[in-house]
Structure 1
């Protein structure tokens, strides 16, 4: 029987109890030879153990110097779930090393939160709740003069990756016309996925509900700027669910103060300072970056890593986690998880 694969395990900023259930952790430890980082000097730890490592679970830098120490390395799993610019991806591609991230585990939780926030914007559930607590509620029709239905409405999705597709599946029963803008996907592919391909300008102009689900790249930072917001219909709804850097926040707050309604799960600085003026913007629904932060999602990280490790051990290609692609990985600009900031 062949020796088990040796795994160098350094999941920080994730915790082992976050990403593994007790059952999955038992499988992980019994099926593989796990060498866990336990707070010692990382350079010496990696130098000592990389030469015999088959699988690396780590978010730490993996430049050419460290890759040269790991002749047997077959895969790097980033359980923080972003493709960070601290890996020599070209060298990994040259050596046939998979670089993997199980970010899809957050798709359904984020999509459900986006749907809930959209319904609250449409019917002002949050606003009337606050008014009720103040004794200023409006009863019956008086409390619905600016409300609208999501069912049968027009919806635009910006970014049709894991998040956008999960949201689309939830929207099917609402009978919406759904347009999607994703410059990395051809129109025919979008049509086969059941949505109408559209330009960014068309999505912003034609829809009552616009969901920003795109990851941040070198091309789309602050794409939701004053000019884009001016394209929106008066009173339309914009939901920022992916990354704060997708929006110019001063412009977003100005638009939410009058023309449109806005919901956001992400912010330029997290946690947001108590005196930040964003907190006082009217017509804005806030969620403190909690859309994807569910135990069930975090535990799925461990499950997906184990699934792909088993495939790799049997000489098969990984399928449960997303693979870094040569053509796009250098263009990602997502911020890493910062445990100290609570992000």
Structure 2
């Protein structure tokens, strides 16, 4: 009896790397369940175009204008494995054709949340600052370096954005017994209240929080919305943690307030990466610097491959995906995130 052909999957993960997101056994699982056209291993534009009429899913980031999508009449899913929805896909055409658009953002959430908690504790207690001082022989012992230290426990906390990252950090903050206010214009207040959070405006969230975590994604509407006016709402000595998208922050205004000693900040994302060697941010002792490394750990990368296999197998069985993020038609074209190198 002839075997049923396996569904065809195009694998073209660049700028991601195949072996960074698929363990050997996970890649074997993918190949067992699907006929995989691996365009990282054997790049060929001709192979891609020839496969379009039969393709079941595309894992990666090729250019997909409307006319290309139309040819892919059996396509069920476009799976982003980099973490940002780029404008190289005609999303409206994909949705009209009933194609699922999925993203791997949830794979990074736990790693980013744990790192973010570490940044907050560092800002609260000056850990990396005093490490540098001790290496330089200028340390102050016992209480001598604790004049600006605070507790995270029971502190007023603000979240700017409550998506994957905010939810993951919220779970980690439970033992700290914080009062948490959230500004997220994409969520109804009932969702936040059901999570035991206090909904607030941006002004309320910034003005009443000793620790502020900026998780907002970059959109066409919110460029630099954490600007000078917003930063001036922060209480003196507030701790600002930036781990989502640089586009949402006015870094010139932030630098000015850091130089004046008004606030502390931990920054993992930058408008220009790598951060220029002569950037004045490198000279701010009240700032923890990080090279966009919060989420990119091996466990997070490998979880992408696991999620891809899980959801492809669900789709193959005629079931909806459950692990990857499902792109909302109302939002996906509004994102203005930059690729991460």
TM-score, with length taken from structure 1: 0.96
Measured against aligned partners, the alpha-carbon deviations of 1:160-198 in whole angstroms (never above 9, x if no partner) come to 000000011100100110111110000011111221111
Aligned counterparts of 1:39 and 1:274: Cα–Cα separation in 2: 38
Which deviates further from its counterpart, 169-178 or 65-74? 65-74
Match of residue 225 from structure 2: 223
Match of residue 299 from structure 2: 296
Aligned counterparts of 2:91 and 2:138: Cα–Cα separation in 1: 57
Match of residue 335 from structure 1: 338
Aligned counterparts of 2:47 and 2:257: Cα–Cα separation in 1: 51
Measured against aligned partners, the alpha-carbon deviations of 1:20-51 in whole angstroms (never above 9, x if no partner) come to 11111110111110011145453x33221111
Aligned counterparts of 2:70 and 2:200: Cα–Cα separation in 1: 45
Q: 2:284 aligns with which of 249, 267, 281?
A: 281
Q: How far does residue 271 in structure 1 lie from its aligned partner after superposition? A: 1.1
Match of residue 340 from structure 1: none
Aligned counterparts of 1:202 and 1:237: Cα–Cα separation in 2: 16
Match of residue 312 from structure 2: 309
Measured against aligned partners, the alpha-carbon deviations of 1:207-233 in whole angstroms (never above 9, x if no partner) come to 000000111111222111111111100
1:310 aligned counterpart, secondary structure: helix
Alignment: residue pair count: 337
Which deviates further from its counterpart, 22-31 or 159-168? 22-31
Q: 2:157 aligns with which of 155, 158, 163?
A: 155
Q: 1:251 aligns with which of 234, 250, 253?
A: 253
Which aligned segments of 4 or more residues in structure 1 are displaced greater than 6 angstroms? none
Aligned counterparts of 2:124 and 2:281: Cα–Cα separation in 1: 21
Q: How far does residue 8 in structure 1 lie from its aligned partner after superposition? A: 0.9
Alignment of 1:117 onto 2:133 = no
Match of residue 175 from structure 1: 177
1:54 aligned counterpart, secondary structure: strand
Unmatched tracts of structure 1, length 5 or more: 338-342
2:285 aligned counterpart, secondary structure: coil
Check the 8 A contact 2:57/2:78 in 1, yes or no: yes
Aligned counterparts of 1:254 and 1:282: Cα–Cα separation in 2: 13
2:274 aligned counterpart, secondary structure: coil
Aligned counterparts of 2:71 and 2:317: Cα–Cα separation in 1: 24
Match of residue 187 from structure 1: 189
Which deviates further from its counterpart, 178-187 or 279-288? 279-288
Check the 8 A contact 2:66/2:90 in 1, yes or no: yes
Unmatched tracts of structure 2, length 5 or more: none
Measured against aligned partners, the alpha-carbon deviations of 1:83-124 in whole angstroms (never above 9, x if no partner) come to 111111111111110011011111111111111111111111
Aligned counterparts of 2:254 and 2:68: Cα–Cα separation in 1: 43
TM-score, with length taken from structure 2: 0.96
Check the 8 A contact 2:266/2:288 in 1, yes or no: yes
